[in-house]
């Protein structure tokens, strides 16, 4: 293999990732959507992996004489220094006591909102776990249910449907707590479809789902969860208040605006690759499904390009975004991007001249310390020799990718617009 080509491709993949993250930077994305100062105060609340960066962007936009205060909660290790908006850290993806205390403090702040105030609600991926206010279940039961949902293979829409109906703040309820003040929710989307009701479980958005839908999710994935099931079934019988639905007049002064998404990042990455001489093709910003199955589709497309020059001629770059899932059957380590990368490497033909990257734009793949993985032909070949087939069966992609020196470690990026996958075929 040509060492110069290997270095070039790996550098280009890393540049594509860095540019994708920069394109979704909350500071640049927020400014065009921030309104003029209101007659009263600006109250800033929010949650997510990008929450601290979003709060700092708001502070930078409004001069010091504008009365502005607030509180946002972000994942441990994702905080930034701020002057007027307090930043707290909590656990993700499983909620903890720090998240519950921060959410209670946000609700206390909103209780004092007045009609001439403006509530800025800053939401990004991870907000559903971080903005934690269990309703009808104990915190311990909520944490256990979250773990089970994440391991079940349920997609983010299904997971959030359940979490929404077991919360005092999700599904539009945070916006209700801000009344009579108007609410502008600014969203960095990490969900396929960019629906405000799904991003961070929609704290400021009308919720189209119902208790019976949440019960159906538990049934579909054979989850017992007695406390949660009892609360959800009680709601399905009409014994608990439903979340506000589309058209609810109580949300008339609430507006949700998506300021950055997977498409934003993909376009940034494609532009960077084009500048480096790679004809870039965005396959989709909305890919979902089991990570190993989505990897198989990408590998099959690469095979067709390599063998037939269809549907694209080489050289080319193939990009996709979205959010895959992993049904956990083993006890290994690795997030959905590591699993995608290993599965794709194993599905490519022996000796294939393919370079690939799969990474989460927030810099953290699941619960590990890597953003994902970056592999060239040498690493792809080494995956099988390093026990990749057995590792994939045990959901132990991290171990193999670490063994072949293919982990991509970026650290927290403080944004989150889902996954970025890129295949280079020179």
Q: For 274-308, how does the pLDDT look when each residue is reduced to its tens digit (9 = 90+)?
A: 999 999 999 999 999 999 999 999 999 999 999 99
pLDDT above 90 for 33: yes
Is the domain of 254 the same as that of 368?
no
Residue written as token pair 């903890």: 96
Reading the block at residue 36, the tokens are 């003029």
Question: Please, what sign has the CA dihedral across residues 206, 208, 209, 210?
Answer: positive
Q: What is the mean pLDDT of residues 228-232?
A: 97
Is the domain of 253 the same as that of 389?
no
* 225 part of a folded domain: no
Parent domain of 58: 26-133+168-207+243-260
Is the domain of 173 the same as that of 299?
no
Is the domain of 13 the same as that of 77?
no
* 227 part of a folded domain: no
Q: Taking the CB of residue 28, how many other CB atoms lie within 10 A of it? A: 14
Q: Taking the CB of residue 9, how many other CB atoms lie within 10 A of it? A: 26
Is the domain of 183 the same as that of 310?
no
* 296 part of a folded domain: yes
Q: Dihedrals φ, ψ of 380, to 5°?
A: -60, -45
Q: Determine how β-strand 42-47 pairs with β-strand 68-75.
A: parallel
Q: What is the mean pLDDT of residues 378-403?
A: 96
pLDDT in tens, 238-272: 999 999 999 999 999 999 999 999 999 999 999 99
* 196 part of a folded domain: yes
Q: What is the mean pLDDT of residues 84-98?
A: 97
217, 232, 260: which is the final residue of a domain?
260
Is the domain of 402 the same as that of 374?
yes
**123 by DSSP, 3-state: which?**
strand
Is the domain of 275 the same as that of 397?
yes
* 163 part of a folded domain: no
Q: Dihedrals φ, ψ of 192, to 5°?
A: -65, 130
Q: Are 362 and 416 in contact, with CB atoms under 8 Å apart?
A: yes
Q: What is the CATH classification number for the domain harbouring 401?
A: 3.40.1480.10
Is the domain of 191 the same as that of 302?
no
Could you tell me how far CA 349 lies from the centroid of its own chain? 31
227, 260, 293: which is the final residue of a domain?
260
Q: Are 373 and 408 in contact, with CB atoms under 8 Å apart?
A: yes
pLDDT above 90 for 28: no
Q: What is the mean pLDDT of residues 7-18?
A: 98
Is the domain of 14 the same as that of 124?
no
Contacts of 270 (CB under 8 A, 6+ apart): 16, 280, 281, 282, 317, 319
317 bridge partner residues: 280, 424
Q: What is the CATH classification number for the domain harbouring 85?
A: 3.40.50.10180
* 115 part of a folded domain: yes
Give how many domains the chain has, as a whole number.
Answer: 2
Give the DSSP H or E segment for 344.
Answer: helix 336-347
The CA distance from 100 to 244, in Å, is: 22
pLDDT above 90 for 27: no
Q: What is the mean pLDDT of residues 137-146?
A: 96
Q: What is the mean pLDDT of residues 341-361?
A: 97
Calculate the average pLDDT of the chain.
96
The predicted model scores a pTM of: 0.89
Contacts of 61 (CB under 8 A, 6+ apart): 30, 31, 34
Is the domain of 11 the same as that of 71?
no
23-27, 33-37, 421-425: which range is least confident on average?
A: 23-27
Q: Are 404 and 382 in contact, with CB atoms under 8 Å apart?
A: yes
Residue written as token pair 């944004």: 415
The one-character DSSP state at 33 is: G
The one-character DSSP state at 382 is: H
* 140 part of a folded domain: no
The CA distance from 127 to 122, in Å, is: 9
Residue 1 confidence (pLDDT): 63
The CA distance from 277 to 3, in Å, is: 18
260, 293, 324: which is the final residue of a domain?
260
Is the domain of 251 the same as that of 284?
no
Is the domain of 358 the same as that of 254?
no
* 145 part of a folded domain: no
Q: What is the mean pLDDT of residues 191-215?
A: 96
């Amino acid at each position: 293999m040509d060492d110069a080509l290997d270095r070039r491709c790996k550098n280009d993949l890393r540049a594509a990732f860095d540019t994708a993250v920069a394109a979704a930077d909350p500071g640049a994305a927020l400014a065009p959507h921030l309104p003029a100062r209101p007659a009263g105060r600006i109250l800033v609340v929010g949650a997510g992996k990008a929450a601290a960066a979003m709060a700092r962007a708001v502070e930078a936009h409004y001069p010091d004489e504008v009365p502005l205060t607030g509180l946002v909660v972000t994942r441990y290790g994702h905080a930034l220094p701020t002057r007027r908006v307090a930043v707290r850290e909590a656990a993700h993806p499983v909620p903890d006591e720090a998240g519950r205390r921060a959410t209670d403090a946000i609700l206390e702040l909103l209780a004092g909102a007045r009609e001439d105030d403006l509530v800025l609600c800053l939401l990004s991926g991870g907000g559903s776990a971080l903005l934690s206010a269990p309703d009808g279940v104990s915190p311990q039961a909520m944490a256990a249910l979250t773990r089970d949902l994440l391991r079940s293979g349920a997609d983010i829409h299904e997971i959030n449907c359940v979490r929404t109906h077991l919360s005092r703040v999700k599904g539009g309820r945070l916006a209700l707590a801000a009344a009579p003040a108007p609410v502008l929710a600014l969203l960095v989307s990490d969900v396929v479809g960019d629906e405000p009701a799904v991003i961070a479980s929609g704290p400021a958005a009308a919720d189209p789902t119902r208790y019976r839908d949440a019960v159906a999710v538990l049934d579909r994935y054979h989850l017992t969860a007695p406390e949660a099931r009892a609360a959800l079934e009680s709601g399905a019988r009409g014994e608990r208040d439903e979340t506000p639905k589309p058209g609810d007049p109580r949300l008339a002064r609430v507006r949700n605006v998506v300021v950055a998404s997977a498409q934003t990042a993909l376009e940034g990455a494609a532009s960077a690759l084009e500048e480096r001489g790679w004809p870039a093709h965005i396959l989709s910003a909305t890919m979902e499904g089991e990570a190993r199955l989505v990897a198989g589709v990408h590998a099959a497309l690469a095979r067709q390009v390599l063998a037939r020059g269809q549907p694209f001629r080489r050289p080319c770059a193939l990009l996709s975004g979205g959010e895959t899932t992993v049904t956990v059957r083993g006890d290994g380590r690795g997030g959905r991007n590591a699993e995608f990368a290993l599965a794709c490497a194993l599905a490519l033909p022996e000796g294939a001249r393919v370079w690939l990257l799969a990474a989460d734009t927030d810099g953290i793949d699941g619960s590990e310390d890597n953003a994902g993985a970056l592999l060239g032909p040498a690493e792809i070949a080494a995956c099988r020799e390093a026990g990749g087939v057995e590792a994939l069966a045990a959901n132990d992609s991290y171990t193999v990718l670490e063994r072949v020196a293919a982990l991509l470690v970026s650290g927290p990026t403080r944004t989150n617009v889902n996954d970025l996958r890129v295949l280079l075929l020179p």
